Amino acid sequence: MTDIPEISEQLNVLSGGVKSAKRLSQKKAVQVVPTEFVGMNRAGKIGGLSAPSITTVYGPSGEGKSVFVFGLIADFQRQNHLAALVDAEFTADLEFADYCGVDPDRLLYLQPTTYENTVKEIEKIINNFKDGKKKGKIHPNTVLLLAIDSVSKLIPANELAKLGKKDRSFPLRAAMNSAWMDKLNVDIHDDSIHIVLVAHEKKTLDASPFEEQTHVKGGDALIYESRQQIRINVKKRLKEEIGGKKVQIGKVHRGLIKKNKLGAEGGEFYFIVTNEFSENGIGFDRVLEVMEECKLRDKQSICRRKVGAVWVWDRLPDGKLKGDSNFEELLRSDPELLENLTKDLNDTAGSVKLQVDEEQEDE
């Protein structure tokens, strides 16, 4: 009887001439880029955004999707990765992006006019990134973040020509985006690229014929083949009395991870954005954000808010401090303490398990 070769040799025979065949152990490891959103790092269970991957960010109009993307871009830039923003709506507030930490000199900014141009330019950037790595012009550990804001506004040239005319009979285009997403997944599958797609959540009556056919309405109807879907909306508005009047100084935004192939689904997180009326300035309020994260984790948090607004944490001078305003003031006055709290929250994120009510009412 002939001796049977080792499994490894048998696999070599099996894969002979098959170009795409490889051992699973040879597949490139997924890279994870940590973010400043401590809640999202915890909710997604992997500590940040993975690459290669595609994330769809959706939600009602004007409730924080673009601001959230600005924060992600800033995170990538701070860690010396590359970032590109496709402004398909031609409405990106670049001044506000600056307040959110985005460095305009290190951001590749595109404004393609049609769906077809967008596809071509995105594919060119992906190919340039891969080629740059092969030739040693881009660092091998660099990750590329490609953000498209928003896919809802990507209109094919022939449909764009019909705008303003009485004949608005848009042909079926649902397969168009789906096919492109399938191709993007193939294009980035073996490289350090993360694509963020921003999409408007629209009800049927509010959607244009083109948006109806591409299912960019009602978040659960999104057809994009993304590994992760995050719904962003406003949870509540922050107000203070200024000059005898209640003035809005910011918003608390809620993120809910609806789909996550690499981590956990159903995780929620919060981030706070303040405006020009806030005494703490314009942009992300990381102090209030970590305080919200501690409250959300409750007994599972390394820093807890107990009954009577008593904050308990072993890094505090006496191990505890009474009063939300006192704890907030301490964190604002001591950046190192804030950094330590953020680190502690990120380091312990993997052990936190929270029950989330996905249908809770927004305030």
Encode pLDDT of 326-354 as tens digits: 999 999 999 999 999 999 999 998 888 77
Task: List the single range of 42-46, 91-95, 154-158, 291-295 with lowest mean pLDDT.
Answer: 154-158
Model confidence at 15, in pLDDT bands (50, 70, 90)? Answer: confident
State the pLDDT confidence band at 114, using cuts at 50, 70 and 90: confident
Average pLDDT over the chain reads 84
Q: What is the pLDDT of residue 222?
A: 47
- Comparing 137 with 226, the larger pLDDT belongs to 137
CA distance 260 to 257: 7
pLDDT value of residue 153 = 74
What is the model's pLDDT at position 211? 47
pLDDT at 283: 97
Predicted confidence at residue 210, as pLDDT, reads 46
Mean pLDDT value across residues 247-258? 95
Give me the residues paired with residue 236 across strands. Answer: 252
Number of alpha carbons in the 13 Å side-chain half-sphere of residue 332: 12
Question: Whole-angstrom Cα distance, residue 198 to residue 236?
Answer: 22
Place of tokens 């991870």: 257
The pLDDT, as a whole number, for residue 152 is 72
Least confident of 8-17, 47-56, 101-110: 8-17
Structure token pair of residue 294: 């501690």
| Mean pLDDT, rounded, for 182-207 | 78
Residue 230: CB partners within 8 Å, gap ≥ 6? 40, 55, 56, 57, 58, 68, 255, 256, 257, 258
More confident position, 208 or 240:
240
Label each residue of 182-249 as H, E or C: HHHHHHHCCCCEEEEEEEECCCHHHCCHHHHHCCCCCHHHCCCCCCEEEEEEEEEEEEEEECCEEEEE
Percent of the chain having pLDDT more than 90?
A: 56
Long-range contacts, stretch 10-13, CB < 8 angstroms, 24+ apart: none
Tell me the pLDDT band of 217, cut-offs 50, 70 and 90.
very low
> Which neighbouring-strand residues pair with 149?
87, 198
Report d(CA 320, CA 304) in Å as an integer: 9
CA distances from 338 to 98, 123, 288 (A): 22, 40, 11
How does pLDDT run across 52-83, given as a tens digit for each residue?
999 989 888 889 999 999 999 999 999 999 99
- What pLDDT does 285 receive? 98
On the question of pLDDT at 154 being above 90, the answer is no
According to the model, what pLDDT value does residue 213 have? 44
- Find the mean pLDDT for residues 299-304: 92
SS3 at position 359: coil
| Distance from the Cα of residue 194 to its chain's centroid | 10
pLDDT band per the 50, 70, 90 thresholds, residue 170: very low
The pLDDT of residue 227: 83
Q: What's the CA gap between 259 and 220, in Å, rounded? A: 10
> Residue 114 and residue 155: Cα distance in Å, rounded?
6
135 pLDDT band, cuts 50/70/90, is: very high
Average pLDDT over residues 125-152: 93
What confidence score (pLDDT) does residue 169 get? Answer: 38
Is residue 327 a contact partner of residue 321, using CB atoms and an 8 Å limit?
A: yes
The reported pLDDT for the residue numbered 130 is 95
Which residues does 127 contact at the CB level (< 8 Å), separation at least 6? none
pLDDT at 203: 56
- pLDDT value, residue 168: 41
Print burial letters for 198-216: b (CB count within 10 Å at least 16), e (below 16).
bbbbbeeeebbebbbbbbb
